[in-house]
Chains A and B, each alone.
Chain A
């Protein structure tokens, strides 16, 4: 029985290929594609009809608040590689199946049952340019053509050969990682900048969360992308595209840690309104709210903390305790209804949404500490250290203690321990305000029959409830600077240098006056030469 060539045997050759390419580069960094980017890269090249079942990646690593930074440190485990190989075989089989050949494989071989190096080379070069986000080197093309030839010869099937070559490309580091190459900056000798192809990828993944399209690759190939005017044209084109919403959603999914929905566990026996539908809808509610706020309405980022405009589905409306007179056809699409929470109510801004409240709760109870910590870390870029290993949490977990009926009571007692107080003073005054929301995000006024005191303070500014907290956060200068720095870090997949922080501060000063608008911010970042500067050793 003839066996289909196994990919690991090919990988050694590919790694050699990458090394050969990189030998001329000054600096080489690898940023692993997220599962969404991986799937999208395949769909962008071969069409959305290609099935990519599941994800090969284990949970990502968050570095300084972002998976995008962790992706730079991410490697491939053997198990992940095996999964990628299975996905590659699945995709390659679909691309080369007879029904798709006419649209996806332009060159017809001289014979279907024999190798055809000319046709194979055309396919490899064309697919490879999109998959690797740059033209293949002569050596790489030869390698994949050789793979195609060997497999076709062994199996007496030209398309089986293409399948083997494509599967090989789909597990190549050049595809699974954004391989960023540097070159000396001709305008500033001694500095390194991304080469044109890497610049195209950085720009595309930043603004679209996907690989460059052919126009962007053309701009890289022509060298136009290296000129300020050419770069501006591409930035404007990408921002005007509907794909810009994908980029925005990907950034906020990372910033708000929405990936944690995959492992979220809210106890359904305590919170039966928190169904699987609610879980899915809550994530979408937040992203839809943000996209509408920042893209459709071009509003200030800081107003996301105080906006009452959102979108709801029937299951979400039930958990928020509000009516939503919209029926859903049996088996029909989930109706998303624009909704405005009433003025004066507690459901305000991102902090009043189920996604934030549930993601930063324990399975069976709310957590002012987790919520306060999230506000500090996500929105204010402050680090809250983890608790010491010998802390006694028993009182905090004793939610029915008759002497400490509310979480505020229990935390006050807990903070009497000086070792605990320093960190809890950072988190609790914020999180206790959100105690009017249970672990599932539902509104409540009492805990164990005792009224909930929602008063709190942020940097010395006191407030009586969630609306006050939202306004304090909106007005907090650090909220804008944190957001701007996170946006840069996400796009560059590295934190800014001290020098870059200086111009980011200028950006902040300007935007705070004019409004921190998403397009204005990313336009300033994407057009700035520093965004494409390579920092030696950053990888």
Chain B
């Protein structure tokens, strides 16, 4: 018989980083992982309900004009194939058929071993189209290198200066990324919505002596063994229970702090396996977090760090240009050029790029596979998610 009740987390998992990040795992984190459970007086659980690139499109972002959308990409493909702009426009208007009635392959341009191939798979077969990159003053993210440089941004929400977000530079001039919350990049919105029903949920927990008062905390990320549950409006259900996957590859622990309702962490390694088309894995080194903890128990804000740039390129490439709505070779070359972290020890080439993602989470219970409750769902969740709360039962001593 299952019964209500929560106990402090007692299971210990040493490793936290995924493949490729092991070198970045600081010994400090291991110490934290072992020390946190017994010391935690309160652990709140969350399930991550939304992740997408933290975009900030405004009039200063692309002063020379942007890279356009899908129709513009197709135009450029055809022009590269030898069509004049007028001919290309006519082909597109005719639904991909030229004046002789022949179907024109629009996306498969480069040839490898005599066959046309998808440029997303082998972008080096295409010369760098030199896409336009984002400029402007503002972008979400964090000052990862501790310096305020000429090409760094200012965080429009926190005011932090020296924000490193080279990934935004690479992506920010495609129409699909030219949005601001509450609008989300369409390509990522679709991908996340699809993944949510198919991949194990992503979890976060915050432990501390008194989370309402704030102070030092421990922040833990894990993957669940079960997929996220939906509510009646298609959002992620608040107050559901998730069983924590003991696999260390998606387990990351950070020292953190809550001040004035804002949760931040000390930099460290983050890795989360996705089992989805888009987010096969999300990982950073030098990870930062800035989440606002709402009264309703939900949390939202930014997570970021240095992300292997090929990870994100592969997200887009798997989707293809039609769905990703970007020029894949253009993004490939831009990211390669703009990468600013994790230099390859042999070549010196940067393998990671500074990046920032918007993250939202709603209250959730966490349990071990053995059924022990290790994190409480606290609060009803976002507005209109329903006023259900867990009853605080006190027994009558009489």
List A residues at the B interface (Cβ < 8 Å).
268-276, 309, 312, 314-315, 317-328, 330, 337-347, 438, 440, 442-445
Contact = CB atoms under 8 A, between A and B. Distances in A.
A240 to B, nearest CB: 27
A324 to B, nearest CB: 5
A505 B227 CA distance: 54
A482 to B, nearest CB: 30
Contacts of B6: 323
Interface in B344-380: 365, 367-368, 371-373, 376-377
A345 B391 contact: yes
Contact of A340 (B3, B225, B227): B3
B149 interface: no
B19 interface: no
Contact of B241 (A268, A270, A317, A346): A317
B27 interface: no
Contact of B232 (A268, A347, A444): A268
Contacts of B384: 269-270, 272
Interface in B113-159: none
Most chain B Cβ neighbours within 10 Å, of A321, A326, A337, A341: A321
A339 B3 contact: yes
A493 B115 CA distance: 78
Interface string B382-398: 00111111110111100
Contacts of B373: 323, 325
B106 interface: no
B102 interface: no
B23 interface: no
A443 B229 contact: no
Given A269-B233, A323-B4, A323-B6, A440 B388 contact: yes
Contacts of B386: 270-274, 319, 438, 440, 442
23 contacts: A268-B231, A268-B232, A268-B233, A272-B384, A272-B386, A275-B230, A276-B232, A309-B1, A312-B2, A315-B229, A318-B239, A318-B240, A318-B388, A323-B377, A326-B241, A327-B243, A328-B226, A330-B227, A337-B2, A339-B1, A344-B393, A345-B4, A440-B386
Contact of B394 (A270, A344, A346, A347): A344
B241 A330 contact: no
Contacts of B226: 314, 327-328
B389 to A, nearest CB: 5
A318 B237 contact: yes
B198 interface: yes
Most chain A Cβ neighbours within 10 Å, of B225, B241, B365, B387: B387
Task: For the complex of A and B, list the 8 residue pairs with the smallest distance between their C-beta atoms, beginning with the closest.
Answer: A442-B388, A325-B367, A268-B232, A327-B226, A323-B365, A272-B231, A321-B390, A318-B239
B228 to A, nearest CB: 11
B1 to A, nearest CB: 5
Nearest to B2: A339
Contacts of A438: 386-388
B61 interface: no
Nearest to A308: B3
Contacts of A314: 226, 229, 240-241
B381 to A, nearest CB: 8
B283 to A, nearest CB: 24
Contacts of A325: 2, 241, 243, 365, 367-368, 371-373
Most chain A Cβ neighbours within 10 Å, of B233, B237, B238, B395: B237
Contacts of A326: 2, 241, 243, 371
B63 interface: no
